[in-house]
Amino acid sequence: MQLGIDLGGTKIAAVALDRDGTELARHRRPTPRGYEATLDALAETVDAIDPAGSDGGGGIGISLPGVVDAIAGRVRAVNLPWLEGHSFAADAARRIGRPVRIANDANCFTLSEATDGAAVGAPVVFGVILGTGVGGGIVVDGRILPGANGLAGEWGHAPLPWREEADGPPAVCGCGKPGCLETILCGAGLSRLHRHLDGEMLDPPEIAARALAGDTAAAGTLAHHADALARALAPVLNLLDPDMVVVGGGLSALPGLCETVTRRWGAWTLAAEPRTRIAIARHGAESGMRGAARLWPD
């Protein structure tokens, strides 16, 4: 049995998986505020999904947003500020009474999809989350590549390459720098892009709905957004050359996204017709806890 917990700013979601990925139990509760209360909630969550300790006290995986230093066991997360400065992984292990491994949520997403999701069987996988922010992760031969600083795959804060007038003026990113690719590829970025191209402020679901209904302006915005994604992925292909790119997050459902990227990214990479495949994630919002469970593959 593999136990995974997705520790978010508002909720804790946990799952127990069989080796073949079958879900044995799941549990959900609000995230309390404060460090000690969070540790208690994690221990209670483990009791809820595995009350009998039936796997003999095996390891627990925890997925977290933000910068996760898995080696030092420390976390810096905007939504969980009370974790900062603590040896979180060690403290969680003590409170739960089992070994704990932690990883960034985008890394867990990528691991989940590489293990039994849309990227199963691909040796090198680049995972992309397009939502309120833009995250990424790298999995090689079924294992997360964390990086020396816990940053591997964090492509959202690179500048958007080959910027053009139609992208609009570079917006200042949440990280403080101007023109990060997150500022055009995330949900708010898509809305800003549509306002720049068409003058109207709409949220992403409305832009998608209008495009599906035949609105050429909305379809044009989605095509430009997907072209920006193709440009943003081109350096990833040149540097990492993954077998598979898997896309998750709320914006992965935008109509025609993967098709447009497949058509366009050859124009921006050294391979005119990249063999890399791109697909939408299979496990959706469950990828955090499922990937966390996969942090203990043995």
Residues that bind Zn ion (CB under 5 A): 157, 173, 175, 180
- Residue closer to Zn ion by CB (options 6, 182) is 182
**At its nearest, how many Å lie between Zn ion and the CB of residue 135?**
11
What span, in angstroms and rounded, lies between the C-alpha atoms of 210 and 135?
A: 27
- Residue closer to Zn ion by CB (options 58, 159) is 159
What span, in angstroms and rounded, lies between the C-alpha atoms of 268 and 235?
A: 8
**At its nearest, how many Å lie between Zn ion and the CB of residue 78?**
13
The phi and psi torsions of 48 (rounded to 5 degrees) equal: -70, -40
**At its nearest, how many Å lie between Zn ion and the CB of residue 182?**
5
Distances (CA, A) of 162 to 147, 211, 229, 232: 27, 25, 11, 9
Residues in Cβ contact with 227 at an 8 Å cutoff, skipping those fewer than 6 apart: 260, 264
- Residue closer to Zn ion by CB (options 113, 154) is 154
- Residue closer to Zn ion by CB (options 150, 274) is 150
- Residue closer to Zn ion by CB (options 133, 248) is 133
**At its nearest, how many Å lie between Zn ion and the CB of residue 104?**
16
Residues in Cβ contact with 213 at an 8 Å cutoff, skipping those fewer than 6 apart: none
**At its nearest, how many Å lie between Zn ion and the CB of residue 276?**
25
The phi and psi torsions of 170 (rounded to 5 degrees) equal: -60, 125
Q: What is the DSSP letter of 170?
A: P
